[in-house]
Structure 1
Amino acid sequence: MKKNERDHKEKQAVEVIRMKELPLSERPYEKCVHYGPEVLSDSELLAAVIRTGSRGEKAVDLAERVLCHLPGKHLGGLFHISMEQLQEIHGIGMVKAVQLKCMAEFTKRMVRSSMPAEKLKCNEPEQVAAYYIQQMRFLETEQVRLLVLDGKNALSKEIVISNGSFNASAAAPREIFYNALKHKAVNIILLHNHPSGDPTPSREDMLMTKRIQEVGHMIGIELLDHIVVGDNRYISFRESGYL
């Protein structure tokens, strides 16, 4: 056996012994087995993923430091930090960075797969918001999405219209109806996020929405709703009486 391999195995053995010497409260794996994953703190969940700490530091301590470096200092920050930025944290190498980013991507895909797009009831704002809120709530800039609906108000196409301020995009109506006509929309729904977390529509949001609604009336494509997504909250223009 090569010296490097032997040293690595010895290091792993020492880490296992040290882990067993820790109280149960500091051993995420054992704590999960005894009480279930729901009792683990955010740092303990991260520790269970990264498995080992750095030299002289337990995995839980390293996980706590990672949380402090994430945008917003919570797990949602994993969506907004790159692997390169993760590796700038002492104790996080390529392998741990990949593990953490894969965990974030796994979460997004699992949420989306729990409600297939083809089964969306687009005439129910709550259901549409529930489907998109986990995808859009952590975006750092405003993003506008167009939902193209067929004659039965089923989703036939989802298009990202712009990234940036919704009201500042002078081309928004042109881009929206260009894509709506291109994909043979009967009706449409608009979605955009507020990075602040507060989904309350601004005056500019309302003016732009009214303009898009009027253009839609002129060409025969109805704007069914405009949904603004915040931090696990949403506001539907239709439900709120703005449309």
Structure 2
Amino acid sequence: MYSTGPTIRELPPEARPRERLAAAGPEDLQDRELLAILLRAGTRSRSALHVADDLLRRFGGLRTLSRARLEELSALPGVGEAKAATLVAAFELGRRVQGPDPASRPVVRSAQDAAALVGPRLAHREQEHFCVLLLNARHEVIGLVETSRGGLNAASVESREVFREAIRRGAHAVILAHNHPSGNPEPSPDDARLTSLLRQAGALLGVAVLDHVVVGDGRFVSLRERGLGF
């Protein structure tokens, strides 16, 4: 197989991704260059930059690539299990760092506030993920926990898992949140039924369920505002 271009080592220093990052900062790098740094190396015939181009082309951009599964990435030429694990870990860290920082104790006053906190963590997931924002009596965030994933309904989301951390951390109230992988945040009848059941369970435990936010692609819906399950 013939090479399709120079390796990264054969590029002039000012064109190499790592050197460019050190000189200009990460903001100045293209998506392909940042991916190449994570990949570290390509194949005998294709540089890490070429493999990065292949990934972006195959998935149609960085956003869809960030949702790719480990086994899906591992099977691609020039990637393999180790590089796939690095990519998956990097994308997950990016999602987590955009989530709430319990140390800063952000205050949740509205569904918009809740969506801003959980959206980065839940959006663009390939599966449904169910999370719970834990709030103290002043509605400050004291934690964000994921309780389940996969097809979410009243049978798969257990009340004890939803409220376990709330009780352990002394939460006064919670806000439920999950994503719709389709990107459409419109609540389903199952979402409304689940909300009603969890509100009843919370009332028995002395933990108020303030809202249930469904996150889509750049959008969200508050079930409380829709009067669904409340």
Structure 1 position 39, deviation (Å): 5.7
Measured after TM superposition, the shift of residue 229 of structure 1 is 1.4
The answer to whether residue 87 in structure 2 is matched with residue 100 in structure 1 is yes
Residue 182 (structure 2) aligns with: 196
CA distance in 2, matches of 1:80, 1:159: 22
Query: Is 1:186 paired with 2:172?
Result: yes
For each residue in 1:49-72, what CA deviation from the matched residue of structure 2 results, as whole angstroms up to 9, or x when unmatched?
Answer: 3354322323322112233455x7
Which residue, out of 44, 53, 56, partners 2:45?
56
Q: In the alignment, residue 55 of structure 1 is paired with which amino acid?
A: R
As a proportion of its length, which structure holds more helix?
A: 1
Structure 1 length as normaliser, TM-score?
A: 0.69
Matches within 5 A, 1:47-86: 47-68=36-57, 74-82=62-70, 85-86=72-73
Question: Which residue of 2 is the match for residue 18 of structure 1?
Answer: 10
Distance 1:226 1:20, change over 3 A: same
Q: TM-score, normalised by structure 2?
A: 0.72
How far apart, CA to CA, are the structure 2 residues paired with 1:109 and 1:170? 24
> How many aligned residue pairs are there?
223
Gaps of 5+ in 2: 1-5
- Whole-angstrom CA distance in 2 between matches of 1:174 and 1:102: 29
Q: After TM superposition, give the deviation of residue 132 of structure 1 in Å.
A: 1.6
Q: Write out per-residue CA displacement over residues 207-226 of structure 1, whole angstroms, 9 at most, x where no aligned residue.
A: 33234335545665432111
* Distance change >3 Å, CA 107–CA 216, structure 1 → 2: closer
Query: Aligned ranges for residues 1-243 of structure 1 at < 5 Å?
Result: 15=7, 18-20=10-12, 28=17, 37-38=26-27, 40-68=29-57, 74-82=62-70, 85-93=72-80, 96-97=83-84, 99-112=86-99, 115-118=100-103, 119-169=105-155, 172-173=158-159, 175-176=161-162, 180=166, 184-214=170-200, 216-217=202-203, 220-240=206-226, 242=228, 243=230
**Counterparts of 1:168 and 1:111 in 2: how far apart (Å)?**
29
1:165 shift after superposition? 2.7
1:106 & 1:230 partners in 2: Cα distance?
20
CA distance in 2, matches of 1:32, 1:180: 42
User: CA separation of 1:217/1:196 partners in 2, compared to 1, >3 Å: closer, same or farther?
Assistant: same
Amino acid at match of 2:62: H
Given that residues 67 and 75 in structure 1 are in contact (C-alpha distance below 8 angstroms), is that contact kept between their aligned partners in structure 2? no
